[in-house]
Structures are given as structure tokens and as C-alpha cells.
Structure 1
Amino acid sequence: MNIKILSRSANLFSTDALVQAAVKRKHTVQVIDPLNCDIVIEKKKPEIYYRGKRLDHVDAVIPRIGASITFYGTAVVRQFEMMNVFTTVQSQALVQSRDKLRSLQILSKAGLGLPKTVFTNYSKDVSGAIEHVGGAPLIIKLLEGTQGLGVVLADTQNAAESVIEAFNGLQARVIIQEYIKEAKGADIRALVIDGQVVGAMKRQGKDGEFRSNLHRGGSAEVIALSEEEENAAIKAARAMKLGVAGVDMLQSERGPLILEVNSSPGLEGIQQATGKDIAKSIIRYIERSI
């Protein structure tokens, strides 16, 4: 098969792992920077040109679209869909996954456990919003934040009010979430491909850090999911209509609570923690689907 990987750089771990997995499976593979693609829209004849050359006879694309290029990257994925090319992540699902508020609404409708969350239109009733999530300590997240950036733990009522009022003053959209104390600064990342969990790791924040992101110095180890956790991960990926998804959840006294569903999950941390070739699983997903 002819597979295109949509990525800004062939040197990124996840992109390189996918290239190697595709080559080992005897496929033709090319890394395409979506920002260097030109979209040609014509009646019943959608086309994509990459650095001046028309892309044709493409069987599948693997979108590795970063948050900073969501708009144009999604347009490229959508154009491939118009050309009847299989994509491991559909354009509409990608857009929904990047909208944290919309994602939580979808997950809530699907009946999944979530941390109690509040979103307001820069409400002046800050204390009321804080009360809705059970008071301090609580988590404040920028809607546009990624990899732990724009996430604040407010330990006290006064601190929470000050941070929220500051964000409101800057007209920065935030969501307010309850703090799950029993999680102890750890979360679970489950990798779901084609409706099956293919690997899971527990991420622990470094000392004094409530964020468990590996980019922020957190550590990871393989974990065996409970049946409830595995079902929650699969259900979350299905609700978001993602063929490939990284589902982040917290362990709580009331069961697994979904934090986020990532449409472009990094492979390095989970492959190292689990010892599994996740990239190979993605290529095999393509093989089964075409």
C-alpha cells in the first residue's frame, strides 16, 4: 500500500516509528508536511499537490496533526477523505478532539465518568463556579492548553478566585474542574486502536508536580487496566469516533474519570513503558481497513 504520514517532521519519534513499522510491513511510505500541501477544489475532482507534485494513488493517511496547525491540517485530511483515501483519524473527529469543552460534552452524553467541570462566559460569580466543583483545591485549564501548559492547581479559595479572575480579565477561556485527591498526581494513558486497548501506562508527576505529563518530567510504567478502566477507554474512543486515540483518565473512588481523548497521541512514552510496538498496531489497523 501507499501510505502518507501527515507530520511536520520525519525526525519526530512517533513519525519515525510509523515509517519503520510501515517499511517492515512492506508498504510504500512518505512523510508529508501538511503545511506544504496545496488543496485544489473542483467539481468531482478534489486534488492535493505536495511541493508542486500531485499526490495520487494514495491508499491511506496517518494524521499526526499538532494543535498549532489544527485548522489547515484538518483541511488536508478532509481533502484526502474527499479523494476516498482511508484515514486513521477522520477530520471531524480530529476537530472535536481539539475542542476540550465539546469533548467533555460528548463524553458526558455517552455516560462516561468525568471530573465535575464548570465553564462560564467570564462570569462575575466566580465563587459560585468554584462551589459547583466542590471548592478548593481545584484545577483551572486553558481551553487551548496542551501537554500540561495552561493548567493550574489552585489550593485555596482565594487563589482560585484570583487565577480565574485574572484569566477572565485577559478574556482567556478556561474550564474549572474538581481536584481528584486520591489520584495522587498520577493518571492513566490508554492507547485505543480500532476499538481495542493495545497498551496502557500509568504516568506519575515528579515530586511537587500535580501534572503527570511526560513532557514535564513525569515518569511512566506499564499498568494492567481493570475491566472498568478498559471499557471506559474503549467507550471514550468510540464516543469521539476516533480509530486511534490516547485516552487519559484518573483513578478515583467513584471509578475511572476521563480527562481527555487525544487524537494524535505520542508513541514514545507508551512504547517504552509497555515494550509494545504501537506503531505496528496502527499499520495493521490500516491493513484490516482497506
Structure 2
Amino acid sequence: MKSLDIGILSVSLSVYSTQRLVEEARKRGHYAEQVDHSRCSVLLGWEGAGILYEGEDISRSFDLVIPRIGAKLTRHGAAVVKQFENHGVFSTARSLGIARARNKARTLQIMARKGIPIPKTLFSIDPETIADQLELLGGPPVVVKLQEGTQGLGVILAESQASARSLIDTFYKMDAGILVQEFIREAAGEDIRILVVGNRVVAAMKRQGVEGDFRANVHRGGTAQAVSLSPKEEAIALEAARHLSLGVAGVDLIRSQTGPKLLEVNASPGLQGIEAATGVNVAEAIIKYAEEHAHRKRK
């Protein structure tokens, strides 16, 4: 196996996921470098167009890149990834997939069109129709989500019609994009995070929110443990990642009385929680996937 030059697009080497990817890449004999995409400038419109980083054009410096793009830098990060793609560099997540996955409404539109089960969801910019919206979802409680929230932030349970009306109206006045979903009570504050790498599921964990919090997110103080998936859950996760053109993805599902439903897809899933909960070396799986596809691109 030939050594590869790998760029890890991340704002800091101190981030656990970035550290693990660099560590596993170097273990397998590759050169791995953390590149702060927030400090990259995309150059367009003249000869030598590329990506300027620390005074150098790095658009052809790597055989492949592994994007770790945070929520606040999605647009810029996706533009940097696109420029690498334009120069023939393989990325474990396509720029279009990164942009689509960040927007929950866009992701759910794609999933619904592809026949993947999702919770009943609606989004609107008309505050005059709030009552009708709640009625369509079966009435409160309902879940209100920011379309570009992450790690459980911007996800709120509205338990009454009055609180839902107040909350939705406030978001409208803030010009914040939101979606409203049915509340699946039987999930009891649990969801499933599935880590997809290439065409296989490499790890899965069940997350439980803290008592009194319906959000099952480890970043919000919840707990996690390894979980076995049904064939349907595994198929949903693989299809979701494929439809978004993500070679690496964290797919979140919720278990309901009518079967599993997709909540969202993360293009830069954290590795710390799932590696700890499952004991699976997810970082190594990502590097192996990247190796395979980068070598194919070289031929």
C-alpha cells in the first residue's frame, strides 16, 4: 500500500475526532496534517486558482481530505471542499452533501422523496397558520427545531398550544428557519446514532437523555451504550448516507410504534462518544475507506 498525503479539515488538532484520525492515519504509514479550513481562502477567476493556506496553495497538496466541518462554518467549509474536488482530490464527504446535511429541512425533503420514513414534519414562514400547523401534527406536544441546529441546540419541546405558539412566533420574528415535528412519546428520550462508513455500518449506539430532557444527546449530558440494529434500521442509515453523497455520516434514528424514523444526518459525526460506547475503532475504519477510494482515484 502506497503512503498517502491526507488533509484533515478541522479548526483544531485538540478536537478528539481530529486527533484520532491523525493518529490512525499515521499508524497506517500515511502523512496526515490538520488544516484549519477557517483560515483557507478559495481563489477563483485567475490562473493558478486554488486554496490559499498559510501563504501556500494547497489545492494539490493532498491525495484526499477528510472534512470535519462545524455548524458555523458550513458554507465556507463546503466551498473549500468543493475547491479540493475541483482539483481532483478525493473527499470522504462531498461538498454538496455537507451543505445539504447541515439543513434539517433539506435533508428531510430528500429523505421523504426517496421513501425513507421520517416523523411528520412541517415548516412555514407564516405565523398566522400556527394553529393549523399544530392541528396537522396532532396537537401539542410538538418538537420545534432550528433548521441548522446541532448537538441538541435549538431543539425544544413545546408542551402546550400556548407555548408552541409563543415559541414559534418568537423564532419567526428572529427570522430563524425552523421546522416543527410530531413528538414521539414512546421513544422516551432515546435515539439511535449510526456511524456509516462507505457502504457499511461500522458502529451504532443508543443515546438516552438526562431525566426530564427529551433530547437524547451526549453533548447535553445524556448517556450512550452499544446497540444492535434491525435490518430496516441499518438499511435506512445506509440509504440516507448514499442519498446525501456522504462517505462518512452519522445517521440519527428514533424508534416509534410504527417503526424507525430518520431524524437527521450529520456530515461530520463526532467519534468520541461512539468509540467509547461501542469499543469500535471508527477512526481506523474511516482511514481504510479513504485509502481505498484515494488509491482508486490515482489509477
State how many pairs are aligned: 290
User: Could you say which residue in structure 1 is the equivalent of 2:297?
Assistant: none
Counterpart of 2:270 in 1: which secondary structure? Answer: coil
Contact 2:255–2:261, Cα closer than 8 Å, also in 1 = yes
Query: Given the alignment of the two structures, is residue 36 of structure 1 paired with residue 42 of structure 2, yes or no?
Result: no
| Residue of structure 2 aligned with 1:137, choices 138, 141, 144 | 141
Is the Cα contact below 8 Å between 1:41 and 1:47 reproduced in 2?
A: yes
Is 2:145–2:180's contact at 8 Å kept on the other side of the alignment? Answer: yes
CA RMSD, 1 decimal: 1.2
Distance 2:50 2:207 in 1: 42
Q: What is the CA deviation profile of residues 48-76 of structure 1, one whole-angstrom value per residue up to 9, with x for unaligned ones?
A: 22201232341000000101011211111
Q: 1:172 and 1:80 mapped to 2: Cα distance?
A: 31
2:166 and 2:50 map into 1 onto residues whose CA distance is 51
CA separation in 2, counterparts of 1:144 and 1:276?
A: 29
Cα distance in 1 between the residues matched to 2:211 and 2:252 = 20
1:45 Cα shift? 4.4
CA contact (8 A) 1:61 1:88 kept: yes
Aligned twin of 2:17: 14
Aligned to 2:293: 289
Are the equivalent residues in 2 in contact too, given 1:46–1:82 (CA < 8 A)?
no
> Alignment partner for residue 3 of structure 1, among 3, 6, 25?
6
**Structure 1 unmatched runs, 5+:** none
The aligned runs of 1:9-88 (5 Å cut-off) are 9-42=12-45, 45-55=48-58, 56-88=60-92
Normalising by structure 2, we get a TM-score of 0.94
Q: Deviations over 1:88-114 (max 9, x none)?
A: 011111111111111110000110110
Quote how far apart the aligned CAs of 1:44 are: 7.2
2:101 pairs with 1:97: yes
Q: Check whether the contact 1:46–1:79 (CA below 8 A) recurs between aligned residues.
A: no
Conserved? CA contact 2:127–2:169, under 8 Å: no
How far residue 259 of structure 1 moved from its aligned partner, in angstroms, is 0.3
Q: Match for 2:90: what amino acid?
A: F
Cα contact 2:119–2:263 (8 A) shared by 1: yes
Q: 3-state SS of the aligned residue for 2:12?
A: coil
Greater mean alpha carbon deviation, residues 47-56 or residues 91-100? 47-56
The alignment's TM-score, normalised by the length of structure 1, stands at: 0.97
Query: Per-residue deviation at 1:228?
Result: 1.0
Give the 3-state SS of the residue equivalent to 2:235 in structure 1. Answer: helix
Q: Is the 8 A contact 1:46 1:83 kept in 2?
A: no
Q: Percent identity?
A: 47
Matched, 1:171 2:178: no
For 1:147-226, list aligned pairs within 5 A.
147-226=151-230
SS at match of 1:140: strand
Please identify, of 40-49 and 155-164, the stretch whose mean Cα deviation from structure 2 is larger. 40-49
Distance 1:36 1:169 in 2: 33
State the 1:143 CA deviation: 1.6
Corresponding residue for 1:127? 131
